[in-house]
Amino acid sequence: MEYQSRELLIQYGVPVPEAEVADSPEAASAIQARLGGMVVVKAQVLAGGRGKAGGVRIARTPEEAATVAGRILGLEIGGQRVRKVLVTRAVKSVKEYYLSVLVDRNAKGIEAVFSDKGGITIEEAAAGHPGRIRHVGIDPFLGPDGTSFLAGIDAGELGPEIARSLLEITRSLFRLCVEKDCSLVELNPLSLVEGGKLVALDAKIVVDDNGLPMHPELLAFRNPDEYGGDEIEAREAGLSYVGLDGNIGCMVNGAGLSMATMDLIKYYGAAPANFLDIGGSSNPEKVVKAFSILLGKPGVKAILINIFGGITRCDDVANGILKAKSMIEIGVPIVIRLIGTNDVKAKEILQGAGIEAYNDLGEAIKRVVAYVA
């Protein structure tokens, strides 16, 4: 969340306004009293567009801070309930920039993105004036090269002082990005204040989960609210799972096949409710767990099981599914596609139990899409 991102920015020497976190109107009012003058009260949720959603408001007195904090703490933004607000000293902004450092997979390196049209309308700026969004490659071993960075962002138009600060902040973001294994470190807005100083008014940092074992200090930032109940349950069960917004629950053996299955569901006009790789196992407990997670997810209207039998035997999986079905009430249609080792036997087992089974993936997906259409 923003208040946590700020801690990292401070560690890396990026200027941010003074601020404190509150979880009640009273606490927000006390912070305003301490900071004095105008403050900005900001919803802390893992979603962008908080400003547009009414989650960023000005307050000038302790009473006003309590009132706006109370209003913001009642909001739901991007599907998340606001439980904390950040109360920051308001900054008088002359201009808003956008600056980020991210992993650029195509370039197999790091990239800085800069725009002099930052702020809450950056998306429109990107669509309407793509030329105003500058991309500059950064050597992942050497960091930003001053000359090419400044040329890349057209620093001539900004003046030497702002250009120098931008380079310095980009170097900090680069170090943060590499040292903490981030995939994105984004400042929007990075505000120019009177006197020519740059201050980061909002920060979004995305950490690569695969880097977390090396960064216990980042693990402490984990927000339980960040994950849906389905994701927490899946993690506890040792399932490789990601919750999504669609209505077709997916159970697939193999991560690559899972990705391909989700792509095909989209291709045929529907949307997957999740990514789930149940692995090579036909262990009925795992299948039951997977069913219960999918069935507990609001909006799931049908379930697609896609199994490619290599070492996994399709008949084992079929038996696992029947066992799971006898253990748990499944109120939505299930469509199964199995192919590979012992698939003929598997189909017999499933059809004997009145479950539709297909060999052809396209057919299976068209069938399940028809259920949710």
Concerning whether 268 is annotated as a catalytic residue, the answer is: no
From the list ligand GDP, Mn ion, none, pick the one residue 93 interacts with, judged by a Cβ distance below 5 to 8 Å according to partner type: ligand GDP
Q: Which of 91, 85, 84 is nearest to 37 (CA)?
A: 91
Instruction: Give least dist CB 160 to Mn ion, A.
Output: 27
From the list ligand GDP, Mn ion, none, pick the one residue 90 interacts with, judged by a Cβ distance below 5 to 8 Å according to partner type: ligand GDP
Task: Pick between residue 55 and residue 62 the one whose CB is nearest to Mn ion.
Answer: 55
Instruction: Give least dist CB 41 to ligand GDP, A.
Output: 10
Distance CA 322, CA 334 (A): 12
Rg (CA), the chain: 25
Task: Pick between residue 188 and residue 282 the one whose CB is nearest to Mn ion.
Answer: 188
From the list ligand GDP, Mn ion, none, pick the one residue 283 interacts with, judged by a Cβ distance below 5 to 8 Å according to partner type: none
From the list Mn ion, ligand GDP, none, pick the one residue 343 interacts with, judged by a Cβ distance below 5 to 8 Å according to partner type: none
Verify binding: residue 96, Mn ion, rule CB under 5 A: no
Residue nearest to ligand GDP (CB): 51
Verify binding: residue 188, Mn ion, rule CB under 5 A: yes
Concerning whether 98 is annotated as a catalytic residue, the answer is: yes
Task: Pick between residue 94 and residue 370 the one whose CB is nearest to ligand GDP.
Answer: 94
Task: Pick between residue 51 and residue 211 the one whose CB is nearest to Mn ion.
Answer: 51
Residue 153 · residue 114 · CB < 8 Å? yes
Phi, psi of 303 (to 5 degrees): -125, 135
Distance CA 36, CA 107 (A): 47
From the list ligand GDP, Mn ion, none, pick the one residue 337 interacts with, judged by a Cβ distance below 5 to 8 Å according to partner type: none
Residue 336 · residue 350 · CB < 8 Å? yes
* Site residues (vs ligand GDP, CB under 6 A): 40, 42, 48-51, 56, 88, 90-91, 93, 96, 119-120, 188-189, 201-202
Tally: H helices and E strands in the chain = 13, 18
Query: Which range of residues in 122-130, 185-193, 249-257, 295-303 is near Mn ion by CB under 5 A?
Result: 185-193
Applying CB under 5 A, the site for Mn ion has a residue count of: 2
Q: Which of 150, 146, 149 is nearest to 158 (CA)?
A: 150
**Which residues have a Cβ under 8 Å from the Cβ of 184 and sit 6 or more positions away?**
100, 101, 102, 103, 177, 204, 205, 206
Distance CA 263, CA 287 (A): 22
From the list ligand GDP, Mn ion, none, pick the one residue 190 interacts with, judged by a Cβ distance below 5 to 8 Å according to partner type: none
Task: Pick between residue 98 and residue 149 the one whose CB is nearest to ligand GDP.
Answer: 98
Instruction: Give least dist CB 51 to ligand GDP, A.
Output: 3
- HSE-up of residue 146 (Cα within 13 Å, Cβ side): 5
Verify binding: residue 202, Mn ion, rule CB under 5 A: yes
Instruction: Give least dist CB 8 to Mn ion, A.
Output: 16
Distance CA 352, CA 333 (A): 16
Q: Which of 20, 96, 186, 241 is catalytic?
A: 186
Distance CA 64, CA 58 (A): 8
Neighbours of 271 (CB within 10 A): 15
Q: Which of 3, 98, 241, 358 is catalytic?
A: 98
Residue nearest to Mn ion (CB): 202
Alpha-helix runs per DSSP H in the chain? 2-11, 25-35, 62-73, 122-128, 146-152, 160-179, 216-219, 229-236, 255-267, 284-295, 314-327, 343-352, 361-372
What amino acid positions are annotated as catalytic residues? 98, 186
Contact positions toward Mn ion, by CB under 5 A? 188, 202
